[in-house]
Structure 1
Amino acid sequence: MDLDIYNETYDTICTSDIKQNAKILEVGCRSGKYYQLFIEKRPDFKILGIDSAPNMIEIAKRNNPSAEFLQFDARNIYQLNDKFDLIVSGFVYHTSRKKKE
């Protein structure tokens, strides 16, 4: 799978006019790879990564011990008691649809 478009998107976010210490929510954080890309370029970002898969959260925490990750279903995003300057997401739509029985 070609991930160049995702890498370019994250690069654009990091070089844009987003304020210092911006709070970012990454929906579908998976292994925390993009958290690493953010922090390399913008260590001032305050990022919360969420994913519904417990194994992905475990991997993300292992890969980024100082980061904040939460096992959370994005369909309940309204339950997060926080405000964010930016919400980013990738590879989520195809996992959020329930199969028809």
Structure 2
Amino acid sequence: MLPEDDCLASVKLFNQFAERYAEKYFDLEQYDRFYAMFAAQLPHAARVIDIACGPGNVSAYLLRHRPDLSLTGVDLAPKMIDIARQRVPAGQFFVGDCRRLHELATDCDGAVFAFGLSYLNQTDAEQFFTSLNRVLNADAVLLLSTISASESSSRYERSSSGDELLTVYRTPQKISDMLVSYGFEVQFVELVASPANAPSPTQDVVLIAKKLTQQI
């Protein structure tokens, strides 16, 4: 990929601050009720992919409450994967690009994408959803969470290290429309306030959707 790839620029920052991110968010319980809703819809021994898994916080919850799951975590930041392997030994974690999931997994019954969409521009998001379709079975369940606001709020933000990070905002309706266009039925949408320890207050959106069609 080209050096100016916005997604890779985000990965560079998350890799740099992986330990700090894990310390700050790994034990966060604010979204646990959504993970429980997701887990309740998965069949026994379901194959689940945790996309942009970070240090493995969502994977840890799922395997703690559903040890029957076969869970694969994918993140493009190597240090995040190292931490996830240490903290969640029951999962399988690999360095990989969410825009090319079909190179890493197949026949998944469920997928989690927690806050990765916030760092994908429209072209990258389209590549992600296209690839996601190729790895999910029909009737697979998707849990997606992201920062929500008007699309005009999208901007490059400067990190504490001085690097610029593209943060992409989308409305709940925009995200729902994207899911429908890729063959999902949106079953649940809820807006929640960002965690108290977030860098700045935002409004987050959590969606649960079911895959209805197989698209290649």
Asked if these proteins are the same fold (TM beyond 0.5), I'd say yes
| Among candidates 48, 51, 68, match of residue 44 of structure 1 | 68
Aligned residue among 23, 37, 60 for 1:12: 37
Report whether the alignment pairs 1:79 with 2:103: yes
What is the deviation of 1:3?
6.2
Runs of 4+ in 1 over 4 A off after TM superposition: none
RMSD: 2.1
Radius of gyration: which is bigger? 2
CA deviation string 1:11-61 (max 9, x = no partner): 112223x21100001101111111111011111010000011111001101
User: What is the rounded CA distance, in whole Å, between the counterparts of 2:119 and 2:67 in structure 1?
Assistant: 30
Structure with the largest fraction of strand: 2
Q: Is the counterpart of residue 94 in structure 1 residue 118 in structure 2?
A: yes
Contact 2:52–2:114 (CA under 8 A) maintained in structure 1: yes
For 1:25, what is the secondary structure of its paired residue?
strand
SS in 2 for 1:69: strand
For the residues of structure 2 that align with 1:3 and 1:81, how far apart are their CA atoms? 28
Q: Could you tell me which amino acid in structure 2 is paired with residue 74 of structure 1? A: C
- SS of the residue corresponding to residue 85 of structure 1 reads strand
The structure whose RCO (Cα within 8 Å, separation 6+) is larger is 1
- Equivalent-residue separation in structure 2 for 1:36 and 1:76 (angstroms): 24
The aligned counterpart of 1:55 is: 79
2:49 is aligned with 1:25: yes
Q: 1:80: Cα distance to partner?
A: 2.6
Gaps of 5+ in 2: 1-24, 125-165, 167-216
How far, CA to CA, are the matches of 1:58 and 1:80 in structure 2? 17
AA matched with 1:7: D
Residue 204 of structure 2 corresponds to none
Partner of 2:112, secondary structure, is: strand
CA distance in 1, matches of 2:64, 2:83: 19
**Pairwise CA distance, 1:68:** 0.3
Give the count of matched residue pairs: 97
